[in-house]
Amino acid sequence: MVYYGRTDLASEAHSQLLQKPETVGPLRGVRAESGELHALPYCAVEVLDEDGAALLKKPVGRYFTLTLPASLLRTDAVFSEAAEAVAELIGRCLPESISSGVLLAALGNPDITPDALGSLAASSLLVTRHLKERASAAFSDFASTALLRTGVLGTTGVESAVQLRALCDCLRPACVIAIDALAGCELEGLCRSVQICDTGISPGSGVGNDREALTRDSLGAPVIAVGVPTVMDCSALVQEDKLSDCFVTPRYIDSAVRTAARVIAYGINLALHPGITIADIDLLIG
């Protein structure tokens, strides 16, 4: 069931528009398709122009949403399929060459479980820039990756965009991959929908706490955003003013966000270092 309300996911915004009585025919400036990738359902939404951007309230670009199984343990065979699917979708967004390196940005507040996706994913990401600089033969086939855990403005006093812009000016990466928790409007999608887009991200926008956007224009490099909806606006469920500032999250959020973070991290590793396997990542991250 789709509930009308704010959402960071282009697939959910598209579904909401199609269900509105006044919508007749295809949406102008928007192209969408669905299918399966590694036996998992996914949806691709492309915002083609400013007409589409105005309709979906999303920037022009490509948005992919992969649906994870309700139960996903690291020991399950489907975990590998999910990581491979995430890797393939990230690959569709990567620039032709990443020889100058990739900057990984773990966004969010590690002390708040629904917002800890980026921090948790960071623990399973392979960071190789320092090894590549030493010309280590063992890492010659790996991409050069650096990682920044930005924290949040309330604990660092510095906007994530400011930190990342400074590091981009120094490293000149081929692209930035930003990982952050999102807000959704479908109960079934909480902690199960992985959105990957090539348009960047506005941290905090899903919960009404907009910070400076992370985009090619603001950072000087293409920005791929990877996120999972971990919260839902209460007003999408119950139309009461007193709940307008409240959000809900699943009671199993702790395990769900850890699982989603690990799938994302493994997918990023596979996308950036194509010669490695899931088993290799297990060994390298300990």
pTM here? 0.92
Inside any domain, residue 214 = yes
In angstroms, what CA-CA distances link 158 with 63, 106, 139, 162?
A: 29, 15, 33, 7
The CATH number covering residue 103 comes to 3.40.50.1450
User: What pLDDT sits at residue 16?
Assistant: 87
- The owner of tokens 């948005």 is 63
User: What pLDDT sits at residue 20?
Assistant: 77
pLDDT, tens only, 16-33: 888 876 776 778 899 999
User: What pLDDT sits at residue 247?
Assistant: 86
pLDDT, tens only, 126-162: 999 998 888 777 778 899 999 999 988 888 889 999 9
pLDDT, tens only, 262-277: 999 999 999 999 889 9
The residue-averaged pLDDT of 163-190 equals 95
Inside any domain, residue 5 = no
Inside any domain, residue 50 = yes
Number of domains in the chain: 1
> pLDDT category, 1, cuts 50, 70, 90?
very low
Q: What is the C-alpha to C-alpha distance for residues 14 and 56, in angstroms, rounded to an integer?
A: 7
Query: In this model, does residue 115 exceed pLDDT 80?
Result: yes
Inside any domain, residue 68 = yes
How would you write 143-168 as a 3-class SS string? Answer: CCEEEEEEECHHHHCCCHHHHHHHHH
Query: In this model, does residue 228 exceed pLDDT 60?
Result: yes
Inside any domain, residue 3 = no
Inside any domain, residue 248 = yes
In angstroms, what CA-CA distances link 146 with 19, 25, 109, 178?
A: 42, 45, 20, 12
- Between 65 and 4, the more confident residue is 65
Query: In this model, does residue 3 exceed pLDDT 60?
Result: no
Query: In this model, does residue 206 exceed pLDDT 50?
Result: no
Contact 224, 196 (CB under 8 A): yes
Q: What is the C-alpha to C-alpha distance for residues 286 and 126, in angstroms, rounded to an integer?
A: 11
Query: In this model, does residue 240 exceed pLDDT 90?
Result: no
Residue 227 tokens, joined: 């996120």
Structural domain harbouring 113: 10-285
Inside any domain, residue 153 = yes
Contact 193, 228 (CB under 8 A): yes
Q: What is the C-alpha to C-alpha distance for residues 166 and 250, in angstroms, rounded to an integer?
A: 36
Inside any domain, residue 1 = no
